[in-house]
Structure 1
Amino acid sequence: MSLFDQLGSLLGGESGGVSGAVAALMEQNGGLAGLLEKFNSGGMGELVSSWVGSGSNLPVSAEQIQQLLGSEQLGALAQQFGLGPQQLSQGLADYLPQAVDKLTPDGQLPQGGDLLSQGLGLLQGFFNKS
């Protein structure tokens, strides 16, 4: 089962498409570290630092997501997961800060081991809470 299938199975319905898109973005960018580097190089380092670090998460807008990913990548992801580009960019804006926060519980990227398994375990605990 691929990462986006596993993440998608943690959530139902529309959010599953967004979680799948997050997983696909990680796969396309070399994991969580690669995805965060894409945000850093896109001028959003302050946002990423707040998501990874302890404390509150700064929000990201759907427009910032669109600017970072570009219409071609966003459109391809939206089509792959059965969402409209605007719906996906808003979903990513809502979901990414929380997902990154949960994938970095100690305020830094996990070191060593299987980051995919660690991340999936953390996300599963996050989304299975009542």
Structure 2
Amino acid sequence: MGLFDNAVPGGNITKPLMIALGALLVGKMLSGRSEEQPAEPQAPVPTPAGTGTSADGGLLGGLGGLLDKLKDAGHGGVADSWVGTGQNQPINANDLGAAIGPQVIREIAQRTGLNEQELLQQLSVALPGIVDKLTPNGQIPQNHQVASAFNG
């Protein structure tokens, strides 16, 4: 996957995890369409009311929205460590789930076919490295830059 090589321990990013990360950070993977199928020009995928989904920013408004959720839940130091240039701090799967919110976790679990606890476990392991890779200079990229990282 290029950018995401070695972003997670073992370097293995499964397709369900990529769908989950895309749903959180990009939003374009919400349809669950496989990469082999061409994208049809159509209206954005409808999303449940109240999820805060933006058209191109994932379920939480992109990377910045995810980091804001973590900060609001009291995990700002952890989130800042992922963006900064130092050591990435880990996050507990349950803390991550509480920060993201049960409705968003349920939505992503349905899209990926993973159960919610397995999804949170995989995300808690993958997100520190992925966010670190997406923010090499300690700067949060624009949503379109994050999207191109997933497409590239």
TM-score band, normalised by shorter chain: 0.7 to 0.9
The structure with more helix, counted as a fraction of residues = 1
Q: Is the 8 A contact 2:69 2:100 kept in 1?
A: no
- Determine the structure 2 residue equivalent to 1:25: 24
Aligned-CA RMSD value: 2.4
Indicate if the aligned counterparts of 2:90 and 2:124 stay in contact, CA closer than 8 A.
yes
Q: Which runs of 5+ in 2 are unaligned?
A: 5-11, 26-57
Q: What's the TM-score, normalizing by structure 2?
A: 0.63
> Can you give the 5+ residue segments of structure 1 that lack an aligned partner in the other structure?
1-6, 8-12, 125-130
SS of residue matched to 1:59: coil
Cα deviation for residue 114 of structure 1 reads 3.5
Q: Given that residues 50 and 58 in structure 1 are in contact (C-alpha distance below 8 angstroms), is that contact kept between their aligned partners in structure 2?
A: yes
Q: Work out which structure has the larger RCO, using CA pairs closer than 8 Å and 6 or more positions apart in sequence.
A: 2
Summarize the Cα distance change of 1:117–1:60 in structure 2 as closer, same or farther, 3 Å threshold.
same
Provide the TM-score with structure 1 as the length reference. Answer: 0.73
AA partner of residue 36 (structure 1): L
Question: Aligned in 2, Cα 1:37/1:119: closer, same or farther, shift over 3 Å?
Answer: farther
Superposed CA deviations along residues 41-92 of structure 1, whole A, max 9, x for unmatched, are 1111000110000011000111112212333321221121010111100000
* Contact 1:66-1:74 at 8 Å conserved across structures: yes
| Corresponding residue for residue 43 of structure 1 | 74
Instruction: Check conservation: 1:50, 1:57, Cα contact below 8 A.
Output: yes
Detail structure 1 runs of 4+ shifted over 4 Å in the superposition: none
Count of equivalent residues: 110
